[in-house]
A and B are shown apart, each in its own frame.
Chain A
């Protein structure tokens, strides 16, 4: 049997390959990025002709995956948790259309916000869409659940949500691979109107989805991923979800004295939970993310039993779980540990030395000296670090594309000029439509597109915007006289400063595109060139 050392993300990708996938769809986002990267590097994926190109954003990725599922082939779409918000429209409707080929939606959550702006819990999306949710407790389960997930999706005629968190996504373990399933052939839906969500058809489909719920519940009750594990000490019964199970077992070396329900498939397995309720005096819920299960149990049992978790303070309300937090909730005493010496200082991330974003901010800061502070709306990417010293330039970072639209709103309110700073990949993800709004109103804003020809923050993936930004801006209707390009280098400082100042002074929409390759991808490119010689 072949054994591989894989990240949770990579195990998901390999599981999809072995499960007969025909198309991976995604936009990069930590901690989901490595799924697509693994597929793109896989020789097997290339040989089998499996689709593995990046999409412009999560919504287009989700829709393309629905399209592939429509044809009868198996597809998967991967995104970080906030990507689910972008894809929410097609995602929620995909449970009404139902599927044809199996469809898996991977949502990689980021509790503790290691690399995100919130820690929303994607299990709510699965619940919202009335579809099964799989939450692996380890890399091996991640592999197997993905591999078998397509069939689960086909069986119930719904997309499946595979929810992981950063810790599993970015942790490596040895994985045993199993047999391989073949890709499916094109076979269009039997009902040609299955995907036509006209109200009449949608109502019919929705009823079918509702009727399916009891079977979906039964599948959870019977799932091999959900287990009741008995224990002698009935003072507490523990519901351990996803990787919460590992932290529990870590504390007892695998021999937990309390009865445990391990949950890795939702809806929650009511049979096991009811048994736990009968056997135990209280219930402790261990779950990474929001108190999703805890809330359900509270209403399920109508306050008839003490339920401990993130809501009652047994566990912190925010942040990811770890073995120590779980130990504390179980009343296990902390051993004394060494302290971090005072001499240790914070080391926040920063823009690389030589990065073009630095030159952009240096010039912008000087250009803005003539105006009152607080007018720079930024976006999601490396350049968000412009909020930190030494730049302190940026006043916002909300969601993909919000720089341009927030600048529009602020200028509507009289904050003139307002400045938007956005990267190339973020611009094509969700900035273009906002720019169209600005064109139509001729909003007095300066849009600074810091174009480094890549999706930098997530590690340098291909950017859909590469070599297209200026043409896109022209096409959207930006006045060519106020569509300027600069090269953000020290040697161009004076020239760049003058251009930014001119466009700040213009009482209408200006776009300045700062074009210089990311130094990380440039370095990698040079290495690759040297290797090819």
Chain B
């Protein structure tokens, strides 16, 4: 088992939360893991990415080589495209379609969606809206994680365990609402990959 995942977004959008849930799930399954994060200046509203690598064999590089990522998991659509050079030919892009516009020259939404549409393997979902629908607007990142769940090599129950580990000390309500967000994303993805 080996999964190389690029997590993408804008500083503050919670990609490290996604990484932490996957990381905790992987370690419990006794898998090896490496996860390169971005700290410091870029966190101030700039583009951020994390290279997350999971394997049943020891992992050498902290960085994923170009053309070898199994998946780009993004909480922002334009950011999902920034890392395409890392994606394998048959790799998946899983992204929220909710645009985050903090630059004056952000392209038209349709231009961004058109590029995502060109990709052979993708799941694009309005995670923001889905999170609002289930009344947990802050969990859109976990919705995106849910949409990636069918491709991660973990069962949904194992990922639920990761959520419990991460949010356990914040109370049962927080755990439950995040598990709900996970399932909302998961169900969306399942409906798309028949």
- Residue numbers of A with Cβ under 8 A of B are 3, 5, 7, 30-31, 33-34, 114-115, 167-168, 170-174, 243, 245-247, 249-251, 254, 322-324, 327, 334-341, 343-352, 382, 385, 389, 457-459
- Name the residue of chain B whose CB is nearest to the CB of A245: B60
B191 on the A face (CB < 8 A): no
Interface set, chain B 59-77, CB cutoff 8 A to A = 59-67
B38 on the A face (CB < 8 A): yes
Partner of A167, one of B36, B103, B107: B36
Contact B60 A254 (CB under 8 A): yes
B153 on the A face (CB < 8 A): no
Contact B37 A171 (CB under 8 A): yes
Contact A171 B34 (CB under 8 A): yes
Contact B87 A457 (CB under 8 A): no
Which candidate, B39-47, B132-140, B175-183, is the interface stretch facing chain A?
A: B39-47
CA distance A135 to B160 in the complex (A): 38
B157 on the A face (CB < 8 A): no
Residues of A within 8 A of B36 (CB): 167, 170-172
Contact B60 A350 (CB under 8 A): no
CA distance A453 to B58 in the complex (A): 44
Contact A5 B39 (CB under 8 A): no
Contact B39 A243 (CB under 8 A): no
B154 on the A face (CB < 8 A): no
B188 on the A face (CB < 8 A): no
Question: What are 14 sample pairs from A and B whose C-beta atoms fall under 8 A apart?
Answer: A5-B33, A30-B41, A167-B63, A172-B35, A249-B60, A251-B65, A254-B58, A323-B64, A324-B65, A335-B67, A337-B85, A338-B87, A339-B84, A352-B44
Partner of B62, one of A174, A243, A341, A385: A243
Contact B81 A347 (CB under 8 A): no
CA distance A251 to B79 in the complex (A): 27
CA distance A36 to B188 in the complex (A): 42
Partner of B82, one of A340, A350, A457: A340
Interface centre among A173, A327, A338 (most CB of B within 10 A): A338
Min CB–CB distance B49 → chain A (angstroms): 11
Min CB–CB distance B180 → chain A (angstroms): 22
- Name the residue of chain A whose CB is nearest to the CB of B80: A344
Q: A5-B27, A347-B102, A349-B46 are in contact. List 14 more A-B contacts (CB 8 A).
A: A115-B42, A170-B39, A171-B35, A172-B35, A172-B36, A174-B27, A246-B61, A322-B61, A327-B65, A338-B85, A340-B81, A349-B45, A351-B45, A352-B44
- Interface contacts (Cβ under 8 Å), in number, total 149
Contact B45 A350 (CB under 8 A): yes
Known: A114-B42, A167-B63, A352-B45. A347 touches B10 (CB 8 A): yes
Contact B85 A349 (CB under 8 A): no
Residues of A within 8 A of B37 (CB): 7, 170-172
Partner of A338, one of B24, B45, B84: B84
Contact B78 A343 (CB under 8 A): yes
- Name the residue of chain A whose CB is nearest to the CB of B41: A115
Contact B45 A345 (CB under 8 A): no
CA distance A458 to B41 in the complex (A): 8
- Name the residue of chain B whose CB is nearest to the CB of A247: B61
Residues of B within 8 A of A340 (CB): 81-82, 84-85
CA distance A296 to B58 in the complex (A): 32
B11 on the A face (CB < 8 A): yes
Min CB–CB distance B155 → chain A (angstroms): 20
CA distance A250 to B46 in the complex (A): 29
B151 on the A face (CB < 8 A): no
CA distance A327 to B61 in the complex (A): 12
Contact A115 B39 (CB under 8 A): yes
Min CB–CB distance A510 → chain B (angstroms): 29
Residues of A within 8 A of B78 (CB): 343-345, 347
Which 8 pairs show the lowest CB-CB distances between chains A and B? A115-B40, A30-B40, A349-B46, A250-B61, A323-B65, A171-B62, A349-B44, A338-B84
Partner of A322, one of B35, B41, B44, B63: B63
Contact string against A for B residues 82-108, beta-carbon threshold 8 Å, 1 for contact and 0 otherwise: 101111000000000000001111110
B32 on the A face (CB < 8 A): yes
Partner of B34, one of A172, A249, A251, A351: A172
Interface set, chain B 1-35, CB cutoff 8 A to A = 10-11, 19, 23-24, 27, 32-35
Residues of B within 8 A of A339 (CB): 84-85
Contact A337 B39 (CB under 8 A): no
CA distance A296 to B61 in the complex (A): 26
Residues of B within 8 A of A5 (CB): 23-24, 27, 33
CA distance A276 to B117 in the complex (A): 52
Min CB–CB distance B65 → chain A (angstroms): 4
Residues of B within 8 A of A352 (CB): 44-45
CA distance A257 to B86 in the complex (A): 26
Min CB–CB distance A327 → chain B (angstroms): 7
Contact B44 A385 (CB under 8 A): yes
- Name the residue of chain B whose CB is nearest to the CB of A252: B60
Contact B111 A349 (CB under 8 A): no
Known: A114-B42, A337-B85, A339-B84. A172 touches B33 (CB 8 A): yes
Known: A173-B34, A343-B111, A345-B107. A246 touches B85 (CB 8 A): no
Partner of B61, one of A172, A323, A459: A323
CA distance A389 to B19 in the complex (A): 32
Contact B33 A457 (CB under 8 A): no
CA distance A168 to B60 in the complex (A): 12
B56 on the A face (CB < 8 A): no
Contact B39 A34 (CB under 8 A): yes
Min CB–CB distance B6 → chain A (angstroms): 12
CA distance A154 to B23 in the complex (A): 37
Known: A167-B36, A250-B61, A347-B103. A457 touches B81 (CB 8 A): no
CA distance A84 to B58 in the complex (A): 34
Partner of A344, one of B59, B66, B67, B82: B82
B172 on the A face (CB < 8 A): no
Residues of B within 8 A of A389 (CB): 104
- Name the residue of chain A whose CB is nearest to the CB of B61: A250
CA distance A173 to B112 in the complex (A): 34
CA distance A249 to B7 in the complex (A): 24
Residues of B within 8 A of A3 (CB): 27
Contact A348 B61 (CB under 8 A): no
Min CB–CB distance A353 → chain B (angstroms): 8
Residues of B within 8 A of A457 (CB): 40-41, 44
